């Protein structure tokens, strides 16, 4: 099942792809597209790669004559405006994309919007294959007017819901073009149902909006009747149901999810059901009966994004901007890291955003004490055409690898060592005693035992130990911090305690303190 799109192309030979985009889909983001022509984007990227490593000489030289921040903002505003007008001229006669200015709030917010999860890109890059398969399936169903079911699975943040949105649109468009009745479309998120069986009433409400619900029979029974009897031609429209987070329909007896899928197997059913969820084996585990009926839904898997895919998606999102914001290397670092961790696109986007914020903060700081510089820089930006000044400004402006690295480490590093070091003394002693306790190869102990060992340590260094209740409170805090795991027990004293962090981590964190070093020897 080749679910991953095989195009692992480098970011730079993307022009054909972009053309694709323009042709296939011009529905929603024509406005954004206007911001930057694609050929321009290409050129600028090349330019930027050549010029990015220049040193920011200007900043160091200028005299830091500060004024009030308010006035600075005002003047900045004026400059920005000037700059913008200048910019349009520039792009007209030079076709070189101006580098962006992190102080310009408009540009910053444009970048942020481009990187936001809610911004649906015009095309879903790297998911063409999956999308095509789902679309094909729908087409076949509609063409042949037969019911069918499909199950889409994949990790969080792999573009499932987004792709389904696109597919939904495409199916309707296609049906119109090809002369079929456009199907009813019901797209719902199962988490928003207050009751699992509510889904049936939603379906029936969509199917027959005019008819009042029959009080005597349940919506499910009505649906079943509807599907098992020959219908008049009048309501022969197909119905496309996209159920996101399908696993929320799993009840104890699994009746709802079963009935839902069984609807598609009934003789006169006209439902095309697409279920979306995370679990790869949901169909196998929860729908064994369907298997026996030999109408197991087709499965489309969305694999976690690879590093190249993440990189491409990020670049795709950034092409709508008429300026360079990220160093290509920084993007690649982000892509690699995220792909290695989870392949979650949401994470990649938020890492990029936090890197951007870091740059912003840096600029705010520098403008705080170097107001005049930034003004000068603004005036420099006006004359971007003239020679090498542009280069150094740009090198300073974009999000660099170091920003990205900091953002990544903020996201992915585990803060265990710092957490342990910032704990109060007695909690550190408890950890220390736990380490000593588990040295003997034991895996777990009770709170009472741990208390004894803690008191022993305290006595050995002449620190008055805290009372039992206090001790229990501290254990709970450690549990909250994710350092301990407290089991369930009726008696507080007999709760099982296991250490959730590595012993060596604790030893490493506490070795700076002589007292603990002696203790842990």
Taking the complex as a whole, how short is the minimal distance between the CB of residue 215 and another protein, in angstroms?
19
- Between strands 484-486 and 496-499, the pairing is antiparallel
Taking CB under 8 A as the criterion, the residue among 451, 484, 505, 516 binding another protein is 451
Residue 399 near residue 359 (C-beta atoms within 8 A): yes
Q: Which is nearer to another protein, 173 or 418 (CB)?
A: 418
Collapsing DSSP to helix, strand or coil, 8 comes out as coil
Q: Does 462 bind another protein (CB under 8 A)?
A: no
Size of the site for another protein (CB under 8 A): 55
Taking CB under 8 A as the criterion, the residue among 285, 442, 493, 517 binding another protein is 493
Binding mask 148-187 for another protein (x = CB under 8 A): -------xxx------------------------------
Taking the complex as a whole, how short is the minimal distance between the CB of residue 515 and another protein, in angstroms?
13
Q: Which is nearer to another protein, 142 or 164 (CB)?
A: 164
Q: Which is nearer to another protein, 101 or 451 (CB)?
A: 451
Taking the complex as a whole, how short is the minimal distance between the CB of residue 198 and another protein, in angstroms?
9
Tokens 């190869």 belong to residue: 441
Which parts of 267-286 interact with another protein (CB under 8 A)?
278
Which parts of 36-75 interact with another protein (CB under 8 A)?
none
Taking the complex as a whole, how short is the minimal distance between the CB of residue 368 and another protein, in angstroms?
13
Which parts of 208-267 interact with another protein (CB under 8 A)?
245, 248
Please enumerate in sequence order all residues whose Cβ is within 8 A of that of 314, keeping only pairs 6 or more positions apart, or say none.
326, 331, 334, 335, 348, 349, 352
Q: Which is nearer to another protein, 382 or 452 (CB)?
A: 452
Taking the complex as a whole, how short is the minimal distance between the CB of residue 146 and another protein, in angstroms?
31
Q: Which is nearer to another protein, 175 or 351 (CB)?
A: 351
Give how far the C-alpha of residue 413 lies from the chain's centroid of Cα atoms, to the nearest Å. 17
- Rounded distance between C-alpha atoms, residue 202 and residue 225, angstroms: 16
Q: Which is nearer to another protein, 70 or 440 (CB)?
A: 70
Q: Which is nearer to another protein, 112 or 382 (CB)?
A: 112
- Distances from the Cα of 477 to the Cαs of 120, 413, 424, 468, in angstroms? 41, 21, 11, 14
What is the dihedral angle through the alpha carbons of 440, 441, 446, 448, rounded to the nearest 10 degrees? 0
Q: Which is nearer to another protein, 51 or 120 (CB)?
A: 120
- Between strands 184-189 and 239-244, the pairing is parallel
What is the dihedral angle through the alpha carbons of 69, 72, 74, 80, rounded to the nearest 10 degrees? -130
Taking CB under 8 A as the criterion, the residue among 409, 422, 460, 489 binding another protein is 422
Binding mask 470-489 for another protein (x = CB under 8 A): x--xx--x--xxx-------
Residue 56 near residue 370 (C-beta atoms within 8 A): no
> Which two three-digit tokens encode residue 266?
């009934």
- Rounded distance between C-alpha atoms, residue 187 and residue 168, angstroms: 9
Taking CB under 8 A as the criterion, the residue among 103, 242, 351, 373 binding another protein is 351
Give how far the C-alpha of residue 38 lies from the chain's centroid of Cα atoms, to the nearest Å. 26
Q: Which is nearer to another protein, 58 or 202 (CB)?
A: 202
Taking CB under 8 A as the criterion, the residue among 55, 67, 192, 379 binding another protein is 192
Q: Which is nearer to another protein, 248 or 271 (CB)?
A: 248
Nearest to 98 by CA among 55, 48, 30, 57: 48
Taking the complex as a whole, how short is the minimal distance between the CB of residue 353 and another protein, in angstroms?
9
Q: Does 31 bind another protein (CB under 8 A)?
A: no
Q: Which is nearer to another protein, 265 or 278 (CB)?
A: 278
- Rounded distance between C-alpha atoms, residue 453 and residue 476, angstroms: 17
Burial pattern 287-300, b for ≥16 Cβ within 10 A else e, equals: beebeeeebbbebb
Q: Does 385 bind another protein (CB under 8 A)?
A: no
Q: Does 423 bind another protein (CB under 8 A)?
A: yes
CB atoms within 10 A of CB 491: 9
Which helix (H) or strand (E) segment holds residue 412: the answer is helix 401-412
- Rounded distance between C-alpha atoms, residue 262 and residue 255, angstroms: 10
Residue 107 near residue 397 (C-beta atoms within 8 A): no
Q: Which is nearer to another protein, 62 or 350 (CB)?
A: 350
- Rounded distance between C-alpha atoms, residue 461 and residue 245, angstroms: 56
Residue 470 near residue 519 (C-beta atoms within 8 A): no
> Which two three-digit tokens encode residue 282?
């949901």
Q: Which is nearer to another protein, 34 or 116 (CB)?
A: 116
Taking the complex as a whole, how short is the minimal distance between the CB of residue 371 and another protein, in angstroms?
20
Binding mask 84-123 for another protein (x = CB under 8 A): ---------------------x--xx--xx--xxxxx---
Q: Does 350 bind another protein (CB under 8 A)?
A: yes
Residue 436 near residue 519 (C-beta atoms within 8 A): yes
Which parts of 319-348 interact with another protein (CB under 8 A)?
342, 344, 346-347
- State the distance between the two ends of the chain, measured CA to CA, in whole angstroms: 55
Q: What radius of gyration, in Å, describes the C-alpha atoms of the chain?
A: 30
- Distances from the Cα of 265 to the Cαs of 175, 214, 311, in angstroms? 23, 24, 42
Taking the complex as a whole, how short is the minimal distance between the CB of residue 201 and another protein, in angstroms?
12
Which helix (H) or strand (E) segment holds residue 426: the answer is helix 425-438
In DSSP terms, which residues pair with 277 in a beta bridge?
Answer: 153
> Which residues of the shown chain bind another protein in the complex (CB under 8 A)?
105, 108-109, 112-113, 116-120, 155-157, 189, 191-192, 194, 245, 248, 278, 342, 344, 346-347, 350-351, 354, 357, 361, 410-411, 415, 419, 422-427, 451-452, 455, 466-470, 473-474, 477, 480-482, 491, 493
């Amino acid at each position: 099942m080749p679910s991953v799109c095989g195009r692992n192309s480098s970011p730079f030979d993307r022009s054909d792809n972009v053309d694709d985009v323009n042709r296939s889909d011009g529905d929603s983001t024509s406005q954004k597209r206007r911001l930057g022509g694609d050929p321009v984007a290409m050129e600028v990227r090349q330019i930027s790669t050549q010029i990015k490593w220049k040193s920011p000489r200007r900043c160091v030289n200028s005299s830091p004559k500060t004024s009030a921040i308010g006035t600075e903002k005002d003047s900045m505003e004026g400059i920005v405006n000037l700059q913008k007008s200048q910019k349009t001229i520039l792009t007209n006669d030079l076709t070189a994309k101006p580098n962006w200015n992190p102080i310009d709030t408009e540009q910053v917010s444009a970048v942020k919007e481009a990187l936001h999860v809610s911004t649906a890109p015009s095309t879903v890059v790297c998911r063409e294959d999956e999308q095509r398969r789902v679309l094909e399936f729908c087409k076949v169903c509609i063409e042949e007017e037969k019911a069918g079911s499909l199950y889409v699975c994949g990790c969080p943040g792999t573009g499932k819901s987004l792709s389904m949105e696109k597919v939904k649109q495409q199916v309707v468009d296609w049906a119109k073009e090809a002369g079929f009745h456009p199907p009813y479309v019901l797209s719902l998120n199962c988490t928003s149902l207050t009751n699992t069986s509510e889904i049936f009433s939603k379906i029936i409400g969509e199917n027959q909006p005019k008819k009042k619900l029959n009080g005597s029979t349940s919506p499910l029974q009505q649906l079943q009747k509807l599907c098992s009897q020959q219908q008049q031609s009048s309501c022969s429209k197909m119905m496309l149901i996209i159920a996101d987070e399908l696993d929320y329909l799993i009840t104890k007896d699994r009746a709802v999810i079963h009935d839902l899928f069984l609807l598609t197997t009934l003789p006169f059913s006209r439902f095309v059901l697409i279920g979306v969820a995370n679990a790869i084996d949901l169909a196998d585990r929860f729908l064994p009966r369907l298997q026996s009926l030999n109408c197991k839904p087709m499965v489309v898997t969305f694999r976690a994004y690879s590093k190249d895919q993440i990189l491409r998606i990020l670049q795709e999102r950034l092409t709508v901007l008429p300026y360079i914001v990220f160093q290509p290397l920084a993007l690649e670092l982000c892509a690699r890291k995220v792909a290695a961790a989870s392949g979650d696109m949401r994470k990649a986007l938020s890492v990029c955003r936090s890197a951007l914020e870091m740059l912003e903060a840096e600029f705010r700081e520098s403008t705080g004490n170097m107001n005049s510089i930034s003004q000068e820089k603004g005036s420099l930006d006006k004359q971007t055409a003239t020679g090498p000044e542009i280069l150094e400004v740009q090198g300073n402006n974009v999000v660099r690898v170091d920003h990205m690295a900091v953002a990544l480490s903020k996201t992915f590093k585990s803060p265990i060592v710092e957490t342990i070091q910032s704990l109060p003394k007695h909690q550190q002693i408890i950890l220390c005693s736990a380490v000593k306790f588990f040295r003997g190869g034991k895996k777990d102990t009770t709170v009472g035992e741990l208390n004894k060992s803690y008191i022993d340590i305290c006595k050995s260094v002449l620190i008055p130990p805290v009372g039992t209740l206090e001790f229990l409170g501290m254990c709970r805090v450690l549990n909250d911090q994710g350092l301990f795991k407290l089991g369930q027990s009726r008696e507080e004293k007999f709760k099982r305690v296991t250490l959730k962090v590595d012993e060596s981590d604790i030893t490493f964190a506490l070795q700076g303190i002589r007292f603990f070093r002696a203790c842990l020897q």
